[in-house]
Amino acid sequence: MMKTHDPSSPSGSPPGGPQSPRTARLADWLWASGHDLRQRAPEPGRDDAVLQAMRASFATRQRSVRRVGWRWALAGPALCATVLVACVWLLGTAPPGESGATVARGSDFIVLVSADRWAAYEKAGAGTAWLVPTDVPRERLALLGLPYDPAAAAEPVHAELLVHASGDVLAMRVLP
């Protein structure tokens, strides 16, 4: 049993009996508070007004979300289309020889240098380069964008390299 003590009592000591107003149990206080809260119910129209205000707020929020939502529905396809157009444009502007294997016109050579370097070689004539036979690892075909069998990646491929007088490898021809 929990008792409280009132220091302002005339005797200065705790009151002695259960009939004292200063002595009470915590459970009694809680019961009295709960009873008081049950007695103070809101007015009947108050619950309906709060519920109606919540519904109006929710409806307003939903309308604003729907208004903004349709704009984002087009963002995904627009972004994909933009990326696709950019990729096609970048592939179209890449210089030959750097974006993969390109075949020289009228020959079986795969050009390994830029278009400017290849044009300078063609302008100078065939006397400035040599054909050098060699064996190339089959995995190098994949780097040139050519098909190859990964199971035979270690086997060599017979090829001819077109080497400029400066030592630059200009092109390669794969032999059967």
DSSP string, 119-154: HHHHHH-GGGEEEEEEEEETHHHHHTT----GGGTT
- 156-164 and 169-174 as β-strands: parallel, antiparallel, unpaired? antiparallel
List, in sequence order, every beta strand (DSSP E) within the chain: 102-103, 110-111, 129-137, 156-164, 169-174
pLDDT of res. 95: 52
Q: Residue-wise pLDDT tens for the chain (176 aa)?
A: 444 444 444 444 444 445 455 556 888 888 899 889 888 877 878 888 898 999 999 988 888 776 666 667 777 888 889 999 988 888 776 554 444 455 555 567 888 888 788 777 778 776 678 888 989 888 777 777 777 778 887 788 888 888 888 888 888 888 87
pLDDT of res. 64: 76
For residues 121 and 168, give the distance between their C-alpha atoms in angstroms, rounded to a whole number.
Answer: 11
